[in-house]
């Protein structure tokens, strides 16, 4: 048994690979313990350790599935329903009150409230009353062109957009940029904030009043 055997057993991500001195040390410990205890016991001992020390995979690629929505869900918010990804028969949405990501559910997911970390169903749709996020789409807005970069300020790899005297949090804009795989050429601006549409997804940054 070696570090690769343990990597394959890790349910978090079998594609993770060992590069750090910590994983090298674990590999050495496994070699020393091999033959001194049953292999299944050694595996039970080593896998939890590997999960903690294994390098995380690159986050540069555009996330897919419900993982795309996870960064938009709130964390430990008193508005408990925002701590989940909310799915209806035809929609998927996640919001922390300042940003929101909306997409379509083509019958792939059962309606209800999902844990944003493990993306598993926690509660059925009757567990809480989710805010009427679709009202954002009906709010009067003006299309603005951001393709020429005149309204975009770069700060390293982060982006800030200024419009109508409002400066939108660059971390929020970066969250949208990553979820959509890049910002579109235009955005819809309203009194509530900015809306971005790309590839069937709608992202919002502003004041949701949820």
Token duo for residue 15: 């594609």
List for the chain the helix, strand, coil content (%; round to 5): 30, 25, 45
At residue 60, does pLDDT exceed 90?
no
At residue 139, does pLDDT exceed 60?
yes
Residue 188 CA to its chain's centroid (Å): 23
Query: 61-76, pLDDT tens digit by residue?
Result: 556 689 999 999 999 8
The full set of domains in the chain, from first to last, is: 3-53 (no CATH), 65-206 (3.70.10.10)
Give the single-character DSSP code of 81.
Answer: G
Q: Is the dihedral of CA 132, 134, 140, 143 positive or negative?
A: positive
The pLDDT, as a whole number, for residue 111 is 95
Half-sphere exposure of 99 (CA within 13 A, CB side): 21
Is-above-0.75 flag for pTM? no
**Which H or E run includes 168?**
strand 166-168
Which three-class secondary structure state does DSSP give residue 123?
Answer: strand
Give the Cα separation of 86 and 89 in Å (integer).
10
pLDDT above 70 as % of the chain = 69
Give the Cα separation of 89 and 111 in Å (integer).
6
The pLDDT, as a whole number, for residue 209 is 60
Give the Cα separation of 84 and 107 in Å (integer).
19
Out of 67-71, 92-96, 192-196, 198-202, which region has the weakest mean confidence (pLDDT)? Answer: 192-196
């Amino acid at each position: 048994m070696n570090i690769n055997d343990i990597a394959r057993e890790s349910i978090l991500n079998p594609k993770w690979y060992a590069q750090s001195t910590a994983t090298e040390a674990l590999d050495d410990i496994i070699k020393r313990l091999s033959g001194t205890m049953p292999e299944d016991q050694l595996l039970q001992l080593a896998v939890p350790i590997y999960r903690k020390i294994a390098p995380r995979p690159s986050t540069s690629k555009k996330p897919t599935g419900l993982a795309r929505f996870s960064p938009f869900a709130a964390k430990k918010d008193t508005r408990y329903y925002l701590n989940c990804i909310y799915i209806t028969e035809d929609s998927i949405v996640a919001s922390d009150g300042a940003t929101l990501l909306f997409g379509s559910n083509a019958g792939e997911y059962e309606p209800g409230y999902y844990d944003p970390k493990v993306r598993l169903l926690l509660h059925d749709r009757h567990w809480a009353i989710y805010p009427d996020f679709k009202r954002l789409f009906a709010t009067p807005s003006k299309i603005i062109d951001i393709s020429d970069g005149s309204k975009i300020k770069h700060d390293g790899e982060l982006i800030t957009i200024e419009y109508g005297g409002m400066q939108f949090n660059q971390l929020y804009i970066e969250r949208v940029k990553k979820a959509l795989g890049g910002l579109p050429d235009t955005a819809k601006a309203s009194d509530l904030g900015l809306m971005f549409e790309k590839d069937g997804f709608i992202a919002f940054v502003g004041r949701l009043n949820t």
